[in-house]
Amino acid sequence: MESSLYQDSRDVFLDTVNTKDYIQLDRVSIIYQSLLDSIKKPLKMILLYGKPGTGKSMFLSKLHDTLKETQQIYLYNNPILDESEFFKTIAQDLYGIEYSGELNFTQFMKVVENKELYKAIIPLILLDEAQLYSPALMEKIRLLSDTRKVKFVIALHKTEKEDLIAKEHFQTRIWQSIKLENASIVELQTYVQKKLLKANCFDTANMFSKKSIKLIHKLTDGNYRDTNKLIYTIFDIYAHYQENSPYKIKSTREVANKFIEMSAIHTGLINA
CATH number of the domain at 172, please: 3.40.50.300
Over range 176-182, report the average pLDDT.
86
Write down the pLDDT at residue 211.
93
Q: Is residue 252 part of a domain?
A: yes
Among 40-49, 99-108, 165-174, 188-197, where is mean pLDDT lowest?
165-174
Query: 272 lies in a domain?
Result: no
| Domain's final residue, options 180, 204, 238 | 180
Q: Is the pLDDT of residue 118 over 60?
A: no
- State how far the Cα of 102 lies from the Cα of 133, in Å rounded to an integer: 19
Do residues 103 and 230 both lie within one domain? no
Question: Among 129, 157, 180, which residue terminates a domain?
Answer: 180
132 and 91 belong to one structural domain: yes
> What integer pLDDT is reported at residue 173 of this predicted model?
62
Claim to verify: residue 236 and residue 140 sit in the same structural domain: no
Residue 86 confidence class, pLDDT cut points 50, 70, 90: very high
**Range of the structural domain that residue 34 is part of:** 26-180
Measured distance CA(110)–CA(218) in Å, rounded: 53
Residues 129 and 85 in one domain: yes
Q: 73-76 and 45-50: which strand pairing?
A: unpaired
21, part of any domain: no
Contacts of 88 (CB under 8 A, 6+ apart): 98, 99, 103
Residues 194 and 102 in one domain: no
Residue 242 lies in a domain: yes
Domain count, the chain: 2
Same domain, 37 and 73: yes
- Domain boundary, last residue among 133, 156, 180: 180
Q: What is the pLDDT of residue 127?
A: 95
- Taking only the tens place, the pLDDT of each residue in 137-152 is 988 998 898 888 889 9
pLDDT, the chain, mean: 86
Residues 237 and 252 in one domain: yes
What totals of helices (H) and strands (E) does the chain contain, helices first? 13, 5
What is the predicted pLDDT for the residue at 115?
A: 72
Question: Nearest CA to 177 among 153, 203, 212, 144?
Answer: 153
Statement to judge: residues 154 and 169 lie in one domain: yes
User: Do 32 and 93 reside in the same domain of the chain?
Assistant: yes
Residue 21 pLDDT > 80: no
> Over pLDDT 70: what percentage of the chain?
88
158 and 189 co-located in one domain: no
193 and 77 together in one domain:
no
Tell me if 125 is assigned to some domain.
yes
Residue 199 lies in a domain: yes
Measured distance CA(108)–CA(111) in Å, rounded:
5
DSSP secondary structure string for all residues of 30-50: HHHHHHHHHHHSSS-EEEEEE
Instruction: Give which of 72, 75, 168, 196 is closest to 123, Cα–Cα.
Output: 72
Residue type, 171: Q
β-pairing verdict for 45-50 and 174-180: parallel
Question: Which pLDDT value is given to residue 249?
Answer: 79
Same domain flag for 158 and 204: no
Q: What is the pLDDT of residue 120?
A: 63
Please tell me the predicted confidence (pLDDT) of residue 265. Answer: 95
Q: What percent of the chain has pLDDT over 90?
A: 48
pLDDT at 23 over 80: no
Residue 254 lies in a domain: yes
User: 161 or 268: whose pLDDT is higher?
Assistant: 268
Looking at per-residue confidence, does 32 or 223 come out higher? 223
pLDDT at 167 over 70: no
Q: Which residues contact 135 (CB under 8 A, 6 or more apart)?
A: 163, 164
| 26-35, 127-136, 241-250: range with lowest mean pLDDT | 241-250
Measure the CA–CA gap between 87 and 143, rounded to whole angstroms: 13
Indicate whether 124 pLDDT > 80. yes
Distances 52 to 33, 49, 58, 143, 222 between C-alpha atoms, Å: 21, 9, 12, 27, 12
